[in-house]
Structure formats: C-alpha cells, structure tokens
Amino acid sequence: MAQERNQKSGGGSRSARDVMTPNPATVSEKDSIRDAARIMASEDTGVVPVVDGRKVVGMVTDRDIVVRFVAEGKDPANAKVNECMTKSVRSVKEDTPIAEVLSMMSSAQIRRVPVVNSSDELVGIVSIGDISTETNQDNKVGRTIEQISQAPSNN
C-alpha cells in the first residue's frame, strides 16, 4: 500500500505517512499486559502504542514485558500496561520527511515511532524496517541503526 502511494506521488519528497503502518492496534494504560502480548502475537509486532482516546501516552514492547516483569519474577497475568510501559514517547507528524524521522530515531536511539495527525491523534507507526524496505535511503538507515545499536540498555 505504501509503495502504491509513493508511486502515485512520483517518488518525490517522502514522509512518515508514505511508509507508516496505518491504524495500529492499541491498548490503554488500564489494559492487562496479557492483552498487549496477545496483540503483539496476533499482529506480529513487538510494540503496541498505549493511548488515552486517540492520544499516545506510552508504548509497551515485548522487551518491556520480559525485562520489567518476567525477569523480575512479577506476574504479568494480572499486571496492567501502565506498570511496564515506556511513558516518555516521541512521535512524528504524518508529513514529517523521512530524513527527519531517521534523524529523530538516531538521536533518540529508537527503532519505532508513533505517527500522529495535526490533532496529535495516533494514525500510524513507522519503524526503521518500514523506512528501509519502502525507501532508497540505505546509507541513512544503516547509520541510524548503527547509532541506535550503540545505545545503553533502557531497563
């Protein structure tokens, strides 16, 4: 779908909207970690945005669940998303140029970022893999991955 949009636009200045996965499945802070894990399994993803209405308030990753619960011996069956989610989340607007998205990912040392509209409502999510497969920015993607990989652990 993203490729079709890009071909129609003539391949000019590409933005987050062109490569994002639209309308990702989400959870609220009060949902169970098990709910988040089930979404990850059914959607084949390692991250689920946490929303309040349509506003992004956090992200929960498979790593968050494993490192912040399982490894510490906590019971994820009865835990809520707000107990392990990452609350400090950066997002990009739909019209943010790909080069800017890569720059932000590199400086924040993150691999996935929520995409929001002009009202700051979640409309998609973009990953470094999306950018890699949907653009010809191989050198920039490679440098971004290298910088992200040098990040200290976040647990």
Read off the pLDDT of residues 81-122 as tens digits, 9 standing for 90 and up. 999 999 999 999 999 999 899 889 888 888 899 999 999 999
- Residue 23 confidence (pLDDT): 95
Q: What is the CATH number of the domain that holds 11?
A: 3.10.580.10
Residue 116 in any domain: the answer is yes
CB 85 within 8 A of CB 60: yes
CB 58 within 8 A of CB 87: yes
54 Cβ partners below 8 Å, 6+ apart?
119, 121, 122
Residue 15 in any domain: the answer is yes
Which helix or strand (DSSP H or E) is residue 21 part of? Answer: strand 21-22
At residue 34 the predicted structure's pLDDT band, cuts being 50, 70 and 90, is very high
Q: Residue 126's closest CA among 66, 62, 59?
A: 59
Residue 133 CA, chain-centre distance (Å), reads 16
Query: 3-state DSSP call for residue 114?
Result: strand
Residue 155 in any domain: the answer is no
- Residue 4 confidence (pLDDT): 43
Domain range for 50: 2-149
Q: Provide the number of structural domains found in the chain.
A: 1
Residue 32 in any domain: the answer is yes
Task: Render pLDDT for 133-152 as a digit per residue (tens, 0 to 9).
Answer: 655 554 555 555 544 455 55
Q: What is the pTM of this model?
A: 0.78
Other CB atoms within a 10 A radius of the CB of residue 128 amount to 19
Residue 154 in any domain: the answer is no
Instruction: State mean pLDDT over 54-76.
Output: 91
Query: 3-state DSSP call for residue 66?
Result: helix
